[in-house]
Amino acid sequence: MKAIKGKLIRGFVVLAAEWGVGCRIGPMKKCSNIFTLTDSNENTHIAHTEPLDMGVDSDTLASWLADYDRDNITIGVVASHSSLQILHGARSEGFRTLGIAVGENRRRFYQAFPGAEPDEWLMLDNYLEMMDHAEWFRERNVVIIPHGSLVEYLGSANFRELQVPTFGNRGILHWESSRERQRKWLEAGGCTMPKVLEDPHDIDGPVIVKYAGAKGGRGYFIARNYRDFRRNVDIEEEFTIQEYVLGCRYYLHFFFDPTATDGFQVQGKGANAGKNLGRLELLSMDRRDESNVDEFYKLGSLRDLREMSLEPSFVVTGNQPVVIRESLLPRAFEMAEGTVAESFELEEGARGMIGPFCLETIVTDALEFKVFEISARIVAGSNPFVGGSPYSDINEERMSTGRRIARSIRKACQNNRLEDILS
């Protein structure tokens, strides 16, 4: 049996060209991307589809929610990333909670945190089995809170197709998942980004080389000139060369509530010009600990390190709370407002940003922000703030991003607006 890939279009599989026509497609499990395929020689193959980025349309979402008991919503989360914060926040807002995990060890670990321990567990052998549990989730009125690990475990295409109500706008993932699309979005929103070099021969100062598939900054490297670049680059991989911005990093955790009509209202643009789109909040701010780049200066210069066959790497190992110089806050809000307003203009019928997002920035010594990335969901950098932050405490004490998500769901249940914050 040989695994092949096909494409799913409106429930039909378009076969890879090599299989041509005349193949029989076996039954496909509901909500699964696995099926069998029999070729003209009667050989059976296991095949899997790659769902097109169709996502869940608003009619489908509304039909699921019509069957939901809005007084008995369960908040479901994959047990990783920011799940302690999300579960703790959900409990604080009075929700029943569900943990989704692979491996008994993972479940047991939560006993160490009774304040966040889920009321119920769904234990799986593989996170992809979530796709087949969609009905099971919906029967329990589950709303899934997505985070970086969920998207990584399922793959972004599967995550978009998961047939369960999910907090936030899954449609934004398409824009978040490619560096070029992020750049279009953020620059149109008024953010300044680090320059990109198309030709490595043009390197004439420090650059950071980022591989497309790199997880958590692993494998990134710094080059000072073309020779440096050539010595280190893996040309088999897809990469981007970015100007290395010297400055201090700040990861700004915002929350956009499209259902709120008070507070700092985002002004729409384009088709939405003149409209208030919803309330923008700043919940917290962190700086990532990155191993080993944060500590490598102790061994000397980049040259000294390379003489010892060492390279700086950018693997995230933890997060520290920070606040930014207060005079920089208006510009931070301006960038976030532009980013949210632009999210409604990205494509025809775009639903825009919903809920938490993070602008990942470097502030230079000229006090300018350079935004090098956006995450359009809760980031693990919000974990230091389970008990609130210097920013969120001003408005309501002990308000974490996880709790803010739960609050948003609770309010939407009360006001019959779940459709506006889920996808």
Looking at beta carbons only, is 5 or 218 nearer to ligand AMP? 218
Q: Which of 56, 69, 66, 76 is nearest to 141 (CA)?
A: 69
Q: Cβ 288 to ligand AMP, closest distance in Å?
A: 5
Contacts of 70 (CB under 8 A, 6+ apart): 141, 413, 416, 418
Stretch that binds ligand AMP, among 13-21, 97-105, 238-246, 325-333 (CB under 6 A): 238-246
Looking at beta carbons only, is 61 or 208 nearer to ligand AMP? 208
Interface with ligand AMP, residue 91, by CB under 6 A: no
Cβ contact 200:229 at 8 Å: yes
CB closest to ligand AMP, residue no = 194
List the one residue from 49, 163, 242, 284 that touches ligand AMP (CB under 6 A). 242
Q: Which of 302, 177, 298 is nearest to 232 (CA)?
A: 302
Question: Binding mask 207-236 vs ligand AMP (x if CB under 6 A, - otherwise)?
Answer: -x-x------x--x----------------
- Looking at this protein, which amino acid is placed at residue 254? F
Q: Is 103 helix (H, G, I), strand (E, B) or coil?
A: coil
Sign, Cα dihedral of 258, 260, 265, 269:
positive
* 147 DSSP assignment: B
Stretch that binds ligand AMP, among 50-58, 87-95, 239-247, 402-410 (CB under 6 A): 239-247
Q: Cβ 147 to ligand AMP, closest distance in Å?
A: 16
List the one residue from 152, 311, 334, 360 that touches ligand AMP (CB under 6 A). 360
Pairing of the two strands 96-102 and 221-223: unpaired
How far apart CA 77 and CA 31 sit, in angstroms, is: 19
Q: Cβ 212 to ligand AMP, closest distance in Å?
A: 10
Tokens, residue 219: 């494998």
How far apart CA 172 and CA 166 sit, in angstroms, is: 13
Interface with ligand AMP, residue 244, by CB under 6 A: yes
Cβ contact 358:253 at 8 Å: yes
Tokens, residue 45: 């193959």
Interface with ligand AMP, residue 311, by CB under 6 A: no
Stretch that binds ligand AMP, among 128-136, 240-248, 273-281, 346-354 (CB under 6 A): 240-248
Cβ contact 331:371 at 8 Å: no
Stretch that binds ligand AMP, among 23-31, 244-252, 341-349, 389-397 (CB under 6 A): 244-252
Interface with ligand AMP, residue 373, by CB under 6 A: yes
List the one residue from 81, 147, 288, 377 that touches ligand AMP (CB under 6 A). 288
Count the residues of the shown chain that bind ligand AMP, applying the rule CB under 6 A: 17
Look-up: residue for tokens 């985070």? Answer: 147
Interface with ligand AMP, residue 249, by CB under 6 A: yes
Q: Cβ 190 to ligand AMP, closest distance in Å?
A: 18
Looking at beta carbons only, is 63 or 317 nearer to ligand AMP? 317
Stretch that binds ligand AMP, among 7-15, 158-166, 242-250, 347-355 (CB under 6 A): 242-250
How far apart CA 308 and CA 300 sit, in angstroms, is: 10
Contacts of 53 (CB under 8 A, 6+ apart): 157, 160, 174
CA distances from 234 to 201, 238, 240, 412 (A): 16, 9, 12, 49
Q: Which residues bind ligand AMP (CB under 6 A)?
A: 194, 208, 210, 217, 220, 242-245, 249, 288, 290, 314, 360, 362, 372-373
